[in-house]
Amino acid sequence: MKVPLVDLKTQYAAIKNEIDEAISAVLDSQVFISGRFVASFENEFGKFTGAQHVIGVANGTDALTLALRSLDLDNETEVIVPANSFVATSEAVTNAGLKPVFCDVNPKTYLLDLNHVEELITSSTGAIIPVHLYGQMVDMRAVKSISDKYNVAVIEDAAQAHGVRYLGISVGELSNLACYSFYPGKNLGAYGDGGAVTTNEKNLARKIRMMANHGRGAKYDHEFEGVNSRLDSLQAAILSVKLRYLPTWNRQRYRAAAIYHDLIGDIGLPLPTTDIKERHVYHLYVTRVKRRDKIVQAMKQEGIGVGIHYPIAIPFLDAYQTRGFQSIDFPVTYEQMSRLISLPIYPEITEEQIVYVVDTLCRNLIM
Ligand SMILES: *Cc1c(COP(=O)(O)O)cnc(C)c1O
């Protein structure tokens, strides 16, 4: 049996007619940039997230960069980011002319450790970026109480967490801005690159929309220099189709995760947080094992697409070598980066496949 880490082909086969029609409609219209397909998707994504403003952009990294730039922070202002995330989170900070300050993660959730955030806040701190990593939501009420106390902005990195809620709070509800990626493998994925910023602040929305489109107001009336970072019509039309399925797909992910919980619990490995149903949309199903790299190699040989998110935590990447970080700076992140393992999960995964994954894992654990 083969079990890939994600299976986009099965999903496409199930919705092929609708997708192909949506693509044809764009081709027939020859409206590729801006226009009605993008406007419709932005509108629908606003309804889905509850955000008043949605700006489609070229990718999730640009969403973060533009969100940061919209805050007009001074150069080198510090932005707190988790040490365990995809590199784009901190890369966006640097590219916005700001300085990423890394924070260790919580040993159970692998999310930004809110007990450490306050220690990192200085007079130069301008923003915090909680990352809803693996599809699991950071406690935004706790983040908000910190940001209110120190008067710093909050940008949510929701690239892996479309549609997640926690304790009745949605992404974007308690922050200034939320950023999404529509990279193909994400819970809501385009057929190419795509991203979006959502916000309830009209002035930020206006600024980001202009920045993403060459600082343009009216057609050739450029108020300032921006960039070219737009969501295109083909991606928007595809995303509109897929958005209709997203609630079902997230429920299917939850069902798959519940099967994993039972089996993984039986062999005594740590479960992802399961405290309340809504906290997690299971973009990834992550547990921890010893001798991780050997196990990953063995499972791959048996046809299972396991992943590692992430093998080298951001502060320890060559890209940040000049900052001179050491393992003791982020002890939890450092210890976990050699143990984390992501098991295959996607809406269409079958119980049989999950059983096979856990059996294989179990066999390799005791070898
Ligand atoms: C995917 C991802 C991004 C970047 O999104 P792109 O669309 O690939 O630019 C940012 N942050 C996190 C946590 C991600 O997983």
CA of 284 to the centre of ligand 1 (A): 13
Q: How confident is the model at residue 293 (pLDDT cuts 50, 70, 90)?
A: very high
Mean residue pLDDT across the chain = 96
Please report, rounded to a whole number, the percentage of residues in the chain having pLDDT higher than 90.
Answer: 94
Determine the residue type at 188: L
pLDDT at 244 over 80: yes
Residue 251 structure tokens: 């429920």
Q: Enumerate the β-bridge partners of residue 194.
A: none
Instruction: Tell me if 135 CB under 6 Å of ligand 1.
Output: no
CA of 56 to the centre of ligand 1 (A): 14
Rounded to the nearest angstrom, the gap between the alpha carbon of residue 292 and the centroid of all alpha carbons in its chain is 24
- Could you report the per-residue pLDDT of 22-38, keeping only the tens digit for each? 999 999 999 999 999 99
Instruction: Give the separation between CA 226 and CA 192, rounded to whole angstroms.
Output: 23
pLDDT at 215 over 60: yes
pLDDT at 301 over 60: yes
Which pLDDT value is given to residue 206? Answer: 96
The residue-averaged pLDDT of 152-168 equals 97
The residue-averaged pLDDT of 65-87 equals 98
Q: How confident is the model at residue 218 (pLDDT cuts 50, 70, 90)?
A: confident
The residue-averaged pLDDT of 58-86 equals 98
Least confident residue range of 38-47, 258-267, 315-324: 258-267
Asked if 239 contacts 41 with a C-beta cutoff of 8 angstroms, the reply is yes
- Could you report the per-residue pLDDT of 346-356, keeping only the tens digit for each? 999 999 999 99
CA of 221 to the centre of ligand 1 (A): 32
Looking at ligand 1, which atom is closest to the CA of residue 182?
Answer: 7
pLDDT at 277 over 70: no
What pairing do the DSSP bridges indicate for beta strands 53-57 and 195-199?
Answer: antiparallel
Instruction: Tell me if 65 CB under 6 Å of ligand 1.
Output: no
The residue-averaged pLDDT of 57-62 equals 98
Instruction: Tell me if 166 CB under 6 Å of ligand 1.
Output: no
Which pLDDT value is given to residue 273? Answer: 78
Instruction: Give the separation between CA 59 and CA 136, rounded to whole angstroms.
Output: 21
The residue-averaged pLDDT of 147-168 equals 97
CA of 212 to the centre of ligand 1 (A): 17
What pairing do the DSSP bridges indicate for beta strands 125-128 and 165-166?
Answer: unpaired
Phi, psi of 170 (to 5 degrees): -95, 160
The residue-averaged pLDDT of 250-263 equals 95
The residue-averaged pLDDT of 306-312 equals 97
pLDDT at 316 over 80: yes
Looking at ligand 1, which atom is closest to the CA of residue 283?
Answer: 15
Which pLDDT value is given to residue 217? Answer: 81
Helices 88-95, 60-70: inter-axial angle, 10-degree rounding: 40
Sequence-distant (≥ 6) Cβ neighbours of residue 364 within 8 angstroms: 294, 295, 298, 299
CA of 27 to the centre of ligand 1 (A): 28
Calculate Rg over the CA atoms of the chain.
21
Looking at ligand 1, which atom is closest to the CA of residue 131?
Answer: 13
Residue 243 C-beta-side C-alpha neighbours within 13 Å: 20
Which pLDDT value is given to residue 366? Answer: 79
- Could you report the per-residue pLDDT of 184-210, keeping only the tens digit for each? 999 999 999 999 999 999 999 999 999
Q: In terms of Cα–Cα distance, which of 51, 278, 57, 44 is closest to 175?
A: 51
- Burial class, 155, CB count within 10 angstroms (exposed 0-12 / middle 13-18 / buried 19+): buried
Instruction: Tell me if 159 CB under 6 Å of ligand 1.
Output: yes
Question: At 245, which helix (H) or strand (E)?
Answer: helix 233-266
pLDDT at 274 over 70: no
Which pLDDT value is given to residue 275? Answer: 62
CA of 363 to the centre of ligand 1 (A): 33
- Could you report the per-residue pLDDT of 127-138, keeping only the tens digit for each? 999 999 999 999
Helices 36-49, 233-266: inter-axial angle, 10-degree rounding: 30
Which pLDDT value is given to residue 139? Answer: 96
Instruction: Give the separation between CA 22 and CA 28, rounded to whole angstroms.
Output: 10
Ligand 1 atom 2: residue of nearest CA: 159
pLDDT at 276 over 70: no
pLDDT at 367 over 80: no
Q: How confident is the model at residue 221 (pLDDT cuts 50, 70, 90)?
A: confident
Determine the residue type at 244: R
Greater confidence, 277 or 37?
A: 37
Instruction: Tell me if 77 CB under 6 Å of ligand 1.
Output: no
Instruction: Tell me if 110 CB under 6 Å of ligand 1.
Output: no
pTM for this prediction:
0.97
Q: In terms of Cα–Cα distance, which of 56, 308, 90 is closest to 190?
A: 56
